[in-house]
Structure 1
Amino acid sequence: MSKKSQTTGLPKANKPAPKAAGQPSAPSARQPRLLRETQTKAERDAQIQRILVLVTGAVLGITAIILIAALVFDQLIIPNQAVARVNGETITVSEFERRVRMERFFISSQINAAINQYRAFGFDDATINQQLFSQPPFSTYINELNIPDQLGNRVINTMVDDEVVRQELAQRGITVDQDAVQKQINRFFGYDPEAGLFTPTPTVTPTTSPTPFVSPTPSPTPTETPIPTATPTSEATPTQAPTEFPTATPTNTPDATQRADDFNRNRTDYYSTLRSNASVSDADINAYFETLAMREALRDAITADLPRTTPFVNVRHILVGSEEEANQALAALNAGESFAALAAAISTDESNKDRGGDLGWAPPSNYVEEFAAAVTDAEIGAIIGPIQTEFGWHIIQVRGREDREM
């Protein structure tokens, strides 16, 4: 007996139609996926090559980005960073580095010049090193070259001071023109455009001194000085005169054009060397001289109401140990004795007795109080004394007096 088909309350699914004989069956959904086709070795190598190219390109791209970022940071960001700020004004890293390189060049040049000068005097290298390492400012320069922080601290302090000066000038309404900058450049190279144009000025000082060597009795001195006019001296003068005068003329009388040409050549050579050694421009070099001009302008403004000159005196003296010796020396001078000969014979001041007691030009303030008071009030040419100081007893003659710029 046949079984009843089981029924549910759900609709019956449609049964698939019976397949016709000979009709191919549809592929089952659960049929396994076909295996990937096998690649050839050439195709695999090409694929690996493409991956390597992509990876290499990515690495190079990242490296390029890093290098560009580092270059931008090093060339644009760091140079514009602030080393110091002065009332809102920034001193940048690039300005600081250029100034350090210039200062390093300046002090190296001064050290080399000192070495050449010592060698010209016959010093050996050991002695030169000893002198340089123990004698300021060269000892300081050498330390700055060997200790970068020391040079850097000095430079940054100087640059801060320069900015303070610049701001102070701006507040005072003072400007520094190109002529003031050029004056500093001329001074640096030892060039005076007006040198030699005013020939009478060197003869001003001798006019006061030759007349009053021995003021009370001028007659004995002329009688002793003509002794060199004897025949031996007259024979010596023709041999010396032709040799000295022609050699002195070319060296001491360069005209203004020649001196200007020498100055321009020296400046051009120096600027060229400084540019190549310190990697700076002409604008950087001129800016340095501008700071010197600004400092001088501010100094002049601050000291405008102060005296700009101070008196200088040209003095010679004879120093002895007692008042009695001083009076004897004074009597001998009044009797016509040569001041220079007497100073060489009896003065106890070893520093100048061989120069006839000549102390040269100096402000009275350089001397002790009693000596300064005597030379300040003394009549030019008069022999005064005895003057007592802590050093002994002085016989003094003031040979000239003038005001000089401080």
Structure 2
Amino acid sequence: MKKQTHLLHAGRNAKENFGIVNPPVYHASTVTFPTVEAMNKAGENPTEGIYYGRMATPTSHAFEEAVAALEGADKAIAVQSGLAAITGAILAFVKNGDHILVTDSAYFPTKKFCNTVLKGFGVETTYFNPTIGSNIEKLIQPNTKVIFTESPGSLTFEVQDIPAITKVAKDHKIITMIDNTWAAGYFFNAFDHGCDISIQAATKYIGGHSDVMLGTIALGDDLYKKVKTYVYGLGYCAAPDDCYLAQRGIRTLPARLKIHEENGMKLASWLKEQPEVKRVLHPAFEDCPGHDIFKRDFTGACGLFSIVLQDHYSEKAVASMLDGMELFPMGYSWGGYESLMIPFNPKGARNASSWEDQGPCLRLHAGQENVEDLINDLDKGFERLNKG
């Protein structure tokens, strides 16, 4: 069955729900049992059945089954945010005295977690250049437990050679994880490329409507019980209404991603020709670091990319541009139906790689608006930018 078809049917069973197409929402904390024997039996394997509301409900199980189908995984775990998925997955495999490797282009809250919480627990983090490939072997220590990747990288969009990294990791029996949110688990199959765990902020494209806080951890049967038990012990769980909304979102994911991809490519191509733009950071473009890897490993692109403006533009000029945008409001997150744009400066967030560009940077999310309207809004924005 093709993925597009599978996503429409995974995680729902109309026969079990009176013929109702969509699985119902179960709001539950307490789950009762008719006998001591039934309670004890459920408690023998609480990660699989319905034992307590925080552990799972039929709603979360249905969503997790759909995510596993999307990612090509055996199982999936839903938690309350993308960051919770990242932190819970990492914590399940480290203890005091351990060491992990993290891409220098990771989502900044991931790095902040490593620099504060993990450091406080006595876990050392080494950041690596996202273009390192198989040379990551030189950074492995005897106590290295996890290699955490993100491809393309947040904000700057370097594409990593995931197969090269995971091959080294397997040789050293190290767990590999990827933040797979940009590809939405749809344009990149983490498991086909050697990853052990694929993480997403389902807040983004899976939810698709800017109204869900949710994270997912996709993984194999061999790791599921370990990670599920750990995140349960941390008190992590996903709200039933968010799981329900994300189930609805995942059904239309392929159709929505197609529009985001088309609009993103058209906007990036137009921006590349504008004199105000020094560089477009989009994996589908030849001058983006790792473009050849992108062509080899990815089946498409989402609507998120960045641009570097010419060096001479001041912060005041950039603010003038952004303050007047009509269809590109400023807001963190992305993956909803609407377009967004934020300014950023990657220099202060680099540990193992340098950022040479001097010009201001903007990250854009291409929503589902008419692309001509988006271009017109950007054109007016550049007029304000040039006026300073």
The structure with more radius of gyration: 1
Q: State the TM-score, normalizing by the size of structure 2.
A: 0.24
Higher helix share: 1
TM-score of the two chains, using structure 1 as the length reference: 0.23
